[in-house]
Amino acid sequence: MDSTYILYLGRHTLETALLVAAPIMLVSVIMGLAISLFQAVTSLKDMTLTLVPKLLAIGVTSLFFGNWMMQVVVKFTLEIFNQIQSYGQS
């Protein structure tokens, strides 16, 4: 195992983590901006107004994208295990 492979593995791990986290992060940012805009327009400063809609949006996003996110993580895990197995046999 050389340094280029370790760098590739680290980059691939970070890419997979960002890919899996992207839908939830995007929905959270969009909901945060929408709620902040609503609060600025209506002058409401209630903290539960920011928390509850974000949690609901994240829950719905997890329901829609959960299967895809799980497939990406399982594919990555299988790739890692296959590489570990190939190093063990040589």
- Nearest Cα neighbor of 76 from 22, 18, 12 is 12
Q: pLDDT value at position 5?
A: 85
Segments in the chain forming alpha helices (H): 3-42, 47-89
Q: Are 35 and 54 in contact (CB under 8 A)?
A: yes
Q: Are 57 and 28 in contact (CB under 8 A)?
A: yes
pTM for this one? Answer: 0.79
What torsion, rounded to 10 degrees, do the Cα atoms 17, 18, 20, 26 define?
150
Each residue's pLDDT expressed in tens, for the chain with a length of 90 residues: 788 888 999 999 999 999 999 999 999 999 999 998 998 898 887 877 888 899 999 999 999 999 999 999 999 999 999 988 887 776
Q: Are 78 and 56 in contact (CB under 8 A)?
A: no
